[in-house]
Structure 1
Amino acid sequence: MASKHTPPTGRLLTVDQAAELLNTSVRYPRRLIEERRITFVKIGRHVRIPESALDEFITAGTVEPVRLRRGRAA
């Protein structure tokens, strides 16, 4: 049974560029890669992170605010 791979879309970013977009140190995206928590592409000995993978990672970690209903106390 063959696994389905969807090709990455958008720009391929360096680890430094990904860290800058995430506003973190370079260690964080490297750790995400090492733990296989984010999609990455190996081109020879270079590692690139698709911009779409960063978008998915950010979306997966987004927490929506709780909307409180104003009403009478029962």
Structure 2
Amino acid sequence: MFSNWFRGESTDLTSCACEPEWPGLVTEAYGEPLEAVPAEASSVLVGMLGLVARCTGCSARYPYGFQTAARG
């Protein structure tokens, strides 16, 4: 898996079909859904855990940087 990511190979859909695009993002860590927010670069936590953000509407893989949202 890591080697495919490193080479830039991915079969996941990365184009959002929602209107407007990317209405919300969600990721999953340890079986728990987490809200995600767009960012200029992914956080260290995202990189260390290998998290993937998906659109809450169409489940497309978010191709840009993101962070997990603060939990309150």
Q: Which has the higher helix share?
A: 1
TM range (shorter): under 0.3
- Structure number with bigger Rg: 1
TM-score (norm 2): 0.25
With normalisation by structure 1, the TM-score equals: 0.25
Higher relative contact order (CA 8 A, sep 6+): 2
